[in-house]
């Protein structure tokens, strides 16, 4: 058996946070299987084909059968054998004003699919087969991005980075997966490396996950050349798992914000995504994902193997429910999570964590320019300058000083002594900028259309004018002829 190469990263983030990670909270319990009686799947806005036409109420759908396909080619399989209860519109997780279309299912057979619904792939699939399989099996970034995996593989790639950093406190989905499914992760690495002919693979782990490291080491497959593959251990620090930061920590390479890592031949995948990919190779599409339910307000935090579409309520009650009092439930971790307003909605592929914490009201005080935010900013922005510009209606200045480079990681919020909602302000600013760009494009289009119309009207009136002139001339000559004829008659 080959030995796995383990490297200590010589780099550490300038900035970032080092706080108590709270991960033990949910890792003290073993992984539990969720068996929900109902499922609620939110349909993406843009669908290649809609289930509305294919399914009618009362129809039974087998587990693993395709439900719908998005425009990006991602096919979602039915998580469990179930009957269609209703298809309609309803509130989303975040409670955004535009309703989304929902597919409600009543589960018939609560067990996960036992038979592969797709044909298992041979040992070393080629790139095309692998891309097709990932799309058919619905493999998207399960770390939280939700970006379709097969689209990343369209680029010429040379390096695979497995993002096992899981730097945000309380999050344990990646760690639990690495502990329990290390062989599957390596399987996916082997398949990816051969199919995409990658030169190297770096699996990055934070140093607060010794169990995961041991599991990965033990499962290291002999087929992988230790020259090309290594595990890089980095210092536990938030947000070392952000894509560009991770690449820098692993390879010492800074990716310009105007380009994406795949354009540089580097693809980053989350271990949970890789485990799901390994299942897909054996013919099992993505039907379940691992969800951490944690936070100070959860009675018994833990990790749950959860069918997609499981109502959030159900998951929370499975974790012992919320403690008495006012609590917020966040989709994601304590720093990057956003509040869930509709807990009846179903779990998504990107739901890595549900974090519940008591509602705290903190009154913000004015910024005293202490610079604590700049100290922790992983991209070295000056959040206090961004904040001052945005709160005084100077979007252009905020963009000038790097608003669009903000990771929205929330580190500045944590350290701000004035309790300012910096990240929220930046998110709003970024959104405002996008709307402004859209407005500008509309204005430009309106201008061209207006000018084109004016040109057309001008041309038409000119054409009318010439036609009239021609007619006048012709009629003039006709008159002359008549006059001449009359004159002849009289003579």
Partner 1 sequence: MNEITIDIIAGVIALTALTTAGGLLLQTLSRRFRVDGSPLVAQIDACLPQTQCGQCGHPGCRPYAEAIASGESINKCPPGGRDTIEALADLLGKEPIPLDAAHGITELPKVAVIDETVCIGCTKCIVACPVDAILGAAKLMHTVIADECTGCDLCLAPCPVDCIALVPRSWPTRDIKSTDSREVIARG
Partner 2 sequence: MLWRIWAPPQSTRAVMQSVWIALIPGTLTSVWVFGPGVLVHLVLAGLGACLAEVIGRRARGLAATQALQDGSTLLTAWLLALALPPAAPLWLPFVAGLIAIGLGKQLYGGLGQNPVNPAMLAYAILIVSAPVAMTTGWIVPFQGWSTPMPLTGIGVGAVDGLTGATILDLYRTEFRELTAPEIAQHPLFSVGGLGIAPGVEWVALSHLLGGGFLFARRVIRWQAPVGFLVGLLGLAAFFAIDPDNTVPVLTHALAGATLFSAFFIVTDPVSGATSPRGQWWFGLGAGVITYLIRTYGLYPDGVAFAVLFMNFMVPLIDQYTRPRIHGESRSIRGSVRGRS
Partner 3 sequence: MDWGLLLISAALVNNVVLVQYLGLCPFMGVSNRMDSAFGLSLATAFVLTLTSVVAYLIETLILIPLDAVWLRTLAFIVAIAITVQSTELIMRKTAPLLYQVLGLFLPLITTNCAVLGIALLNVNRSHTLLESALYGFGAAMGFALVLVMFSAMRERLARADIPELLQGTPIALITAGFMALAFMGFSGIVNS
Using the minimum distance from each CB to partner 1, give the nearer residue, 338 or 450.
Answer: 450
Interface residue with partner 2 among 88, 120, 417, 476 (CB under 8 A) is 417
For the beta carbon of residue 464, count every other beta carbon within 10 angstroms.
Answer: 10
Beta carbon of residue 239, minimum distance to partner 2 (angstroms, whole number): 11
Residue 480: how many CA atoms within 13 Å on its side-chain side?
A: 6
Candidates 445, 471, 474, 486: give the one binding partner 1 (CB under 8 A).
445
Site residue total, partner 1 (CB under 8 A)? 17
Nearer to partner 3, 167 or 386 (CB): 386
Q: How far apart are CA 480 and CA 279, in angstroms?
A: 94
Site string for partner 1, 416-435 (x = CB under 8 A): ----------------x--x
- Residue 393 interacting with partner 1 (CB under 8 A): yes
436 scored as a contact of partner 1 (CB under 8 A): yes
Q: Is 129 in the site for partner 3 (CB under 8 A)?
A: no
Cβ proximity to partner 2, 106 vs 405, nearer residue: 405
Instruction: Classify each residue of 263-279 as buried b or exposed e, where b means 16 or more C-beta atoms within 10 Å of its C-beta.
Output: ebebbbbbbbbbbbbbb
Single out the segment in contact with partner 1 by CB under 8 A; choices: 32-40, 147-155, 447-455, 477-485: 447-455
Is residue 460 involved in binding partner 1 (CB under 8 A)? no
Among partner 3, partner 1, partner 2, none, the one that 436 touches (CB under a kind-dependent 5 to 8 A) is partner 1
Among 55, 68, 186, 248, binds partner 2 (CB under 8 A): 248
Binding status of residue 451 toward partner 1 by CB under 8 A? yes
Judged by beta carbon distances under 5 to 8 A according to partner kind, the member of partner 3, partner 1, partner 2, none in contact with residue 109 is: none
| Residue from the set 49, 396, 428, 480 that interacts with partner 2 by CB under 8 A | 396
CA distance 118 to 64: 8
Tell me the window of 16-24, 81-89, 247-255, 482-490 that interacts with partner 2 (CB under 8 A).
Answer: 247-255
Q: Is 464 in the site for partner 1 (CB under 8 A)?
A: no
Contact code string over 386-415 relative to partner 3, x by CB under 8 A: --xx-xx-x--x------------------
Q: Is 122 a residue that touches partner 3 (CB under 8 A)? A: no
Using CB under 8 A as the binding rule, the residues of this chain from 327 to 386 that contact partner 3 are 366
Asked if 223 is part of the footprint of partner 2 (rule: CB under 8 A), the reply reads no
Query: Which does residue 392 bind out of partner 3, partner 1, partner 2, none, counting CB within 5 to 8 angstroms by kind?
Result: partner 3
Enumerate binding residues for partner 3 (CB under 8 A): 366, 388-389, 391-392, 394, 397
Enumerate binding residues for partner 2 (CB under 8 A): 244-245, 248, 254-257, 365-371, 374, 378-382, 384-385, 394, 396-397, 399-402, 405, 417-419
């Amino acid at each position: 058996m080959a030995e796995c190469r383990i490297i200590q990263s010589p780099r550490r983030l300038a900035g970032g946070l080092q706080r108590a990670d709270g991960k033990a909270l949910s890792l003290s319990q073993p992984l539990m299987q969720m068996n929900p009686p109902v499922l609620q799947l939110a349909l993406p806005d843009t669908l290649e084909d809609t289930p509305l036409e294919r399914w009618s109420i009362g129809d039974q759908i087998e587990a693993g059968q395709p439900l719908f396909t998005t425009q990006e080619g991602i096919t979602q399989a039915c998580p469990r054998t179930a009957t269609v209860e209703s298809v309609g519109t309803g509130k989303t997780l975040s409670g955004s004003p535009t309703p989304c279309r929902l597919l409600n299912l009543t589960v018939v057979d609560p067990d996960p699919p036992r038979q592969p619904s797709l044909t298992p792939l041979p040992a070393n699939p080629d790139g095309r087969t692998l891309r097709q399989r990932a799309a058919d099996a619905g493999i998207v970034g399960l770390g939280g991005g939700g970006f379709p995996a097969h689209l990343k593989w369209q680029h010429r790639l040379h390096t695979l980075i497995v993002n096992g950093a899981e730097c945000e406190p309380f999050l344990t989905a990646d760690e639990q997966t690495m502990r329990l499914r290390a062989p599957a992760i390596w399987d996916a690495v082997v398949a990816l490396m051969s199919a995409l002919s990658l030169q190297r693979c770096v699996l990055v782990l934070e140093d607060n996950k010794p169990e995961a490291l041991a599991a990965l080491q033990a499962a290291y497959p002999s087929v992988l050349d230790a020259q090309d593959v290594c595990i890089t251990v980095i210092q536990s620090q938030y947000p070392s798992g952000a894509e560009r930061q991770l690449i820098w920590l692993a390879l010492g390479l800074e990716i310009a914000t105007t380009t994406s890592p795949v354009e540089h031949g580097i693809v980053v995948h989350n271990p949970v995504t890789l485990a799901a990919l390994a299942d897909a190779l054996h013919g099992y599409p993505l039907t379940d994902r691992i969800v951490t339910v944690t936070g100070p307000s959860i009675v018994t935090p833990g990790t749950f193997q959860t069918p997609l579409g499981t109502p959030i309520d159900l998951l929370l009650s499975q974790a012992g429910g919320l403690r008495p009092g006012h609590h917020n439930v966040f989709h994601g971790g304590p720093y990057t999570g956003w509040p869930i307003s509709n807990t009846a909605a179903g779990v998504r592929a990107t739901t890595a964590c549900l974090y519940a914490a008591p509602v705290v009201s903190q009154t913000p005080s004015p910024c005293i320019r202490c610079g604590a935010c700049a100290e922790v900013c992983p991209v070295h922005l000056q959040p206090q300058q961004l904040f001052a510009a945005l709160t005084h209606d100077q979007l252009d200045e905020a963009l000038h000083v790097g608003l669009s480079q903000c990771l929205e990681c929330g580190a500045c919020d944590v350290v701000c002594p004035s309790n300012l909602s910096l990240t929220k302000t930046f998110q709003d600013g970024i959104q405002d900028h996008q709307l402004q760009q859209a407005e500008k494009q509309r204005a430009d289009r309106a201008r061209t259309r207006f000018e084109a119309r004016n040109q057309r009207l001008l041309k038409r009136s000119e054409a009318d004018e010439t036609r009239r002139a021609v007619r006048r001339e012709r009629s003039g000559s006709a008159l002359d002829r008549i006059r001449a004829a009359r004159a002849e008659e009289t003579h």
